């Protein structure tokens, strides 16, 4: 598949500019009345930033299809754009159902998520590009809506705490019970992996309040604060996630051995400095080739990277405005009829 041009320099430099660390005291939290940008819009942007991050061994990037023959960068952008209404709706679901118990909100989000799956598959002609992100970002945006409706602080931490309440007991309800009786329906990949390897995947991450994504966000914020560009910081953070997460996609494609190999390679790269040194970058470049040969695609780690990016955008939400985001995505804004295309 041939991808359209991606203006890497302009995209990352503009993104760094609008996400510059504020000077002086920072507010400890964001209240709903301060929000200028819908969290669903930020989740969509997080998806775009994630797929635009390069290098990510085994995964689709602007200049690499990774270990995938059926998808490319442009297809991921098409998929992400098709899911923006779903993400914005997740925020409304959280707001409108905030008086219910959190698990009831999650139930409504699951229904919306099933419809979003079909929207994605229609947009991509049947290719699964964002199924994991639909689950992860849908929960996080829905949690933001609950907090907004209750006029509570909206921070990465409070979002994760609320998300954990929404999916409380999900591992027992959806995985552990499979050991007693297997349902008379096709099992999902996550269910099959649990029965084969005991892997709890994203369900455990969500139930625990997304600790991997939250730590990744904190590391990302630190790298940003010391002047590391997002273009460099995000692949570095991705390596850390790869080490920490038991990525179900890696196990699905390469078994436990594939997961172990991916972790070992990421540890090796980080010990040499990762994206911050020539030696580390050499290892990362070799990982890109190796993952293709081994057919390894750490899609679960990509979803957690998108979550960490979403948290960074939430953390900087008071600095963001709709015209900034439209310009970043190459859309026309009032007073800016001629725009340099960032994402064609």
Query: Has residue 296 got a pLDDT over 60?
Result: yes
What sign does the dihedral 6-239-212-244 (CA atoms) show? positive
> Which residues are bridge partners to 333 per DSSP?
336
Whether residue 107 has pLDDT greater than 70: yes
pLDDT on residue 66: 93
Q: Would residue 293 count as lying in a domain?
A: no
Buried b (16+ CB within 10 A) or exposed e, 234-273: bbbbbbbbbbbbbbbbbbbbbeeebbebbbebbebbbebe
Q: How confident is the model at residue 70 (pLDDT cuts 50, 70, 90)?
A: very high
- Tally Cβ neighbours within 10 Å of residue 57: 31
| The pLDDT of residue 342 is above 60 | no
Residue 10 pLDDT exceeds 90? no
Ranges 77-91, 178-192, 263-277: which has the least confidence: 178-192
Asked whether residue 160 is domain-assigned, the answer is yes
Residue 252 lies in a domain: no
Q: What is residue 332's predicted lDDT score, i.e. its pLDDT?
A: 52
CB 162 within 8 A of CB 147: yes
Q: What is the pLDDT of residue 189?
A: 87
Evaluate if residue 15 carries a pLDDT over 70: yes
Per residue, the 3-state secondary structure of the chain, as one string, reads CCCCCECHHHHHHHHHHHCCCCCCCCCCCCCHHHCCCCHHHHHHHHHHHHHHCCCCCCCCECCECCCCCCCCHHHHHHHHHHHHHHHHHHHHHHHHCCCCCHHHHHHHHHHHHHHHHHHHHHHCCCCCCCHHHHHHHHHHHHHHHHHHHCCCCCCHHHHHHHHHHHCCCHHHHHCHHHHCCCCCCCCCHHHHHHHHHCCCHHHHHHHCCCHHHHHHHHHHHHHHHCCCCHHHHHHHHHHHHHHHCCCHHHHHHHHHHHHHHHHHHHHHHHHCCHHHCHHHHHHHHHHHHHHHHHCCCCHHHHHHHHHHHHHHHHHCHHHCCHHHHHHHCCCCECCECCCCCCEC
The answer to whether the predicted template modeling score (pTM) of the entire model surpasses 0.85 is yes
Do the domain assignments include residue 242?
Answer: no
171 close to 191: Cβ distance less than 8 angstroms:
no
- Of 7 and 21, the one with more pLDDT: 7
Q: Is residue 14 pLDDT above 90, yes or no?
A: no
Region 92-116 average pLDDT: 97
In angstroms, the CA 60 to CA 17 distance is: 25
Write down the pLDDT at residue 23: 39
Average pLDDT over residues 167-187: 91
What pLDDT is recorded for position 300? 96
Containing structural domain, residue 186: 8-167+174-231+302-328
- 105 located within any domain: yes
24 falls within a domain: yes
- Mean pLDDT computed over every residue of the chain: 89
Kindly report, residue by residue over 182-221, the tens digit of the pLDDT. 888 889 888 999 999 999 999 999 999 999 999 999 999 9
What is the Cα Rg of the chain in Å? 19
Whether 337 has a pLDDT exceeding 60, the answer reads no
Tell me the C-alpha distance between 207 and 183, whole Å.
22
| CA dist., res. 183 & res. 179, Å (int) | 10
Return d(Cα 88, Cα 25) in angstroms, integer: 31
Cis peptide before 266 (omega within 30 of 0): no
CA distance 204 to 170: 8
Confidence of residue 271 (pLDDT cuts 50, 70, 90): very high
What distance lies between CA 240 and its chain's CA centroid? Answer: 14
Residue 344, domain member (yes or no): no
Asked if residue 336 has pLDDT above 50, the reply is no
pLDDT at residue 241 is higher than 60: yes
Tens digit of each residue's pLDDT (9 = 90 or more) over 146-159: 999 999 999 999 99
Q: Tell me the C-alpha distance between 305 and 293, whole Å.
A: 23
**Number of structural domains in the chain:** 1
Give percent of the chain above pLDDT 70.
87
- Return the minimum-mean-pLDDT range out of 29-43, 123-137, 237-251, 276-290: 29-43
pLDDT above 80: residue 21: no
Q: Would residue 50 count as lying in a domain?
A: yes
Mean per-residue pLDDT, 64-77: 93
């Amino acid at each position: 598949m041939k991808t359209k041009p991606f203006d890497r320099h302009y995209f990352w430099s503009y993104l760094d500019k609008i996400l510059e660390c504020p000077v002086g005291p920072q507010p400890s939290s964001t209240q709903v009345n301060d929000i200028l940008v819908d969290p669903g819009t930020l989740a969509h942007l997080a998806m775009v930033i994630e797929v635009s991050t390069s290098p990510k061994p085994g995964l689709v990037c602007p200049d690499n299809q990774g270990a995938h023959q059926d998808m490319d960068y442009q297809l991921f952008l098409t998929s992400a754009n098709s899911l923006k209404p779903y993400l914005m709706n997740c925020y409304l679901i959280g707001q409108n159902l905030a008086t219910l118990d959190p698990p009831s909100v999650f139930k409504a989000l699951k229904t919306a998520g099933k419809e979003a799956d079909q929207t994605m598959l229609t947009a991509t002609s049947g290719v699964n590009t964002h199924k994991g992100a639909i689950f992860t970002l849908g929960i996080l945006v829905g949690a933001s809506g609950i907090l907004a409706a209750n006029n509570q602080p909206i921070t990465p931490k409070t979002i994760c705490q609320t998300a954990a309440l929404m999916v409380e007991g999900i591992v027992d309800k959806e995985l552990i019970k499979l050991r007693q009786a297997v349902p008379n329906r096709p099992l999902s990949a996550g269910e099959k992996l649990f029965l084969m390897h005991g892997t709890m995947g994203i369900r455990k991450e969500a139930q625990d309040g997304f600790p991997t994504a939250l730590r990744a966000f904190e590391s990302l914020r630190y790298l940003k604060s010391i002047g590391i560009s997002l273009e460099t910081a995000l692949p570095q953070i991705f390596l850390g996630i790869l080490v920490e997460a038991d990525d179900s996609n890696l196990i699905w494609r390469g078994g436990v051995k594939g997961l172990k190999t991916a972790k070992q390679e990421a540890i090796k790269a980080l010990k040499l400095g990762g994206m911050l040194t020539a030696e580390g970058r050499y290892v990362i470049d070799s990982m890109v080739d190796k993952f293709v040969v081994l057919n390894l695609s750490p899609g679960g780690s990509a979803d957690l990277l998108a979550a960490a990016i979403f948290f960074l955008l939430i953390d900087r939400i008071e600095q963001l405005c709709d015209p900034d985001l439209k310009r970043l995505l190459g859309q026309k804004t009032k007073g800016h009829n001629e725009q340099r295309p960032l994402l064609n």
